[in-house]
Amino acid sequence: MGYSLEGATGAWEVVVGLEVHAQVISESKLFSGASATYGGAPNAHVSFVDAGFPGMLPVINRECVAQAVRTGLGLKAKINHWSRFDRKNYFYADLPNGYQISQFAHPVVGTGVVEIELADGTLKEIGITRLHLEQDAGKSMHDQHPSKSVIDLNRAGVALMEIVSEPDIRSPEEAGAYVRKLRQILRYLGTCDGNMEEGSMRADVNVSVRKAGEEFRTRCEIKNVNSVRFVMHAVEAEARRQIEVWESGRTVVQETRLYDPARGETRSMRSKEDAHDYRYFPEPDLLPLVLDEAWVKALAEKLPELPDEKRKRFCVQYGISFYDAGVLVVDQVTADFYETVAKGRDAKLAANWVMGDFFAALNRMGTTIDTSPVTAANLGALLDLIADATINGKIAKEVFEAMVETGQAPDVIVEEKGLRQVTDTGAIEAAVAAVIAANADKVAEYKGGKEKLFGFFVGQVMKAMARKGNPAIVNEEVKRQLQ
Ligand code: ADP
Ligand code: MG
């Protein structure tokens, strides 16, 4: 049984489809040569095209198209070799042209699929309806002057990909997993940085509710939700609101709403009655976009390995669990880090170290792999010291902590601190003999059948040897002397 919400009339199913706007990573804007860099002084990155000066003509940016095609390929989607731009007309102060150039009837990318994973390990496919290219608008600022609004056109004309999902999502958790997975794929592809706080990725969340087995009911669209958590909260809040509306005998009306994170509720922004009539028509200043088969093929061949494929490869190549592989491919940097540590070594042990002590250390320090004092090469070297019996597993933890603190290589730390494992059988024999001599009572109990005490003797010997004894040899020697 899937997710449902309980109302007075029983269980309700939640239906969600997402429209994600993802800012394309490119040097310049979709139709002008102005910089597409985030930030900068207001109106520093504005060409005459972006400012809507009369007679200025848009020129399509090939790299933005390539980014959209790469994204389509990454979403296992159909690439449309013929697409077209349309003019979407509306007035807004931060839209100097009075229209947005978008793709309406003929998007560059058609249907695809994204596989999501839920907390319980369930995998589910979410259909992609389409991906199209369009321009971003500028930004109106109402808090800079007591009586005037000011406008920053730096973002006007920056390329966006709108990625539309099928209404396949059935819970807040699935909505969150979808946005996270989409962001992960875009980041792997290098087509969008996915920074939702900076607005380079934002979601319009379409929500409806229904009784099991029914047709879809009317949906509402919650605009511009800018974090994964808010997407999840917005789905739940809106679904609860709609359940209440239906159960009180009223009807949900299709409208655009806003999510208010402070109140944890959605509120109406505009209803369908005053919805825009955009008067779309084919953009007369641009030719249709025709993609060369060979060009698309070349992009496909250069596509990086994506998270799902990498995850499967990690399972096969390194023999680690599907779960662990999922953690390690979270982003490219982490995956590369792991591979550097694992290559040519005990790959399962490498996974345990990376996901255990290493991640814990990053967490504790509030840092990331890029600025970590422990490099992949040094963590690998630490595993080598365990493998060649220079140090034992216990001491390795101590060496690792010193690596975190000093950023030094493990062999340097082992030498400086004298942590080399003792494999000298003479020294171990003496230490065991001393422990046995000092614990005659325990020895008697052991010989009387209390075999659990074996661990006690080993522990005492290791303690006496400052934990540096070779565990295998110590075990053997304790066994031998007790007999
Ligand atoms: P429009 O053309 O009006 O924007 P679409 O059919 O393109 O509408 O759908 C927009 C988004 O709304 C898509 O992500 C889609 O999955 C979602 N959607 C459509 N119908 C429903 C519904 N009944 N409940 C929830 N989401 C829906
Ligand atoms: Mg829409």
Counting ligands in written order, which one lies closest to the CA of residue 203?
Answer: 1
**Helices and strands in the chain, H and E counts:** 16, 16
- Token pair 């989607």 is at which residue? 77
- What stretches of 120-227 show up as alpha helix (H) in DSSP? 172-189
* Contact status, residue 287 vs residue 58, Cβ threshold 8 Å: no
For the Cβ of 107 lying below 6 angstroms from any atom of ligand 1, the answer is: no
180 CA to centre of ligand 2 in angstroms: 21
Q: How many Cβ atoms from other residues are within 10 Å of residue 65's Cβ?
A: 21
Any ligand 1 atom below 6 A from CB of 206: yes
pLDDT tens over the chain, length 483 residues: 689 999 999 999 999 999 999 999 999 999 999 999 988 899 999 999 999 999 999 999 999 999 999 999 999 999 999 999 999 999 999 999 999 999 999 999 999 999 999 999 999 999 999 999 999 999 999 999 999 999 999 999 999 999 999 999 999 999 999 999 999 999 999 999 999 998 999 999 999 999 999 999 999 999 999 999 999 999 999 999 999 999 999 999 999 999 999 999 999 987 655 556 899 999 999 999 999 999 999 999 999 999 999 999 999 999 999 999 999 999 999 999 999 999 999 999 999 999 999 999 999 999 999 999 999 999 999 999 999 989 988 899 999 999 999 999 999 999 998 888 888 888 899 999 999 999 989 999 998 889 888 999 999 988 888 888 888 888 989 999 988
471 Cβ inside 6 Å of ligand 1: no
Indicate which residue's Cα is closest to atom 14 of ligand 1.
17
Cα 433 to averaged position of ligand 1 atoms, centre (Å): 77
How far apart CA 344 and CA 112 sit, in angstroms, is 37
275 Cβ contact partners less than 8 Å away, ≥ 6 residues apart: 256
Cα of 19 vs centre of ligand 2, distance in Å, is 7
| Residue to probe by mutation, ligand 1, list 171, 182, 206, most atoms within 8 Å of CB | 206
Sorted by where each starts, the structural domains of the chain and their CATH numbers stand as 5-298 (no CATH), 305-417 (no CATH), 425-482 (1.10.10.410)
Q: 221: CA distance to ligand 1 center in Å?
A: 8
Cβ–ligand 1 distance for 216 under 6 Å, the answer yes
Q: Is there an atom of ligand 1 within 6 Å of 15 CB? A: yes
Q: Could you give the CA distance from residue 228 to residue 203 in angstroms, rounded to a whole number?
A: 9
Q: How far apart are CA 414 and CA 390, in angstroms?
A: 9
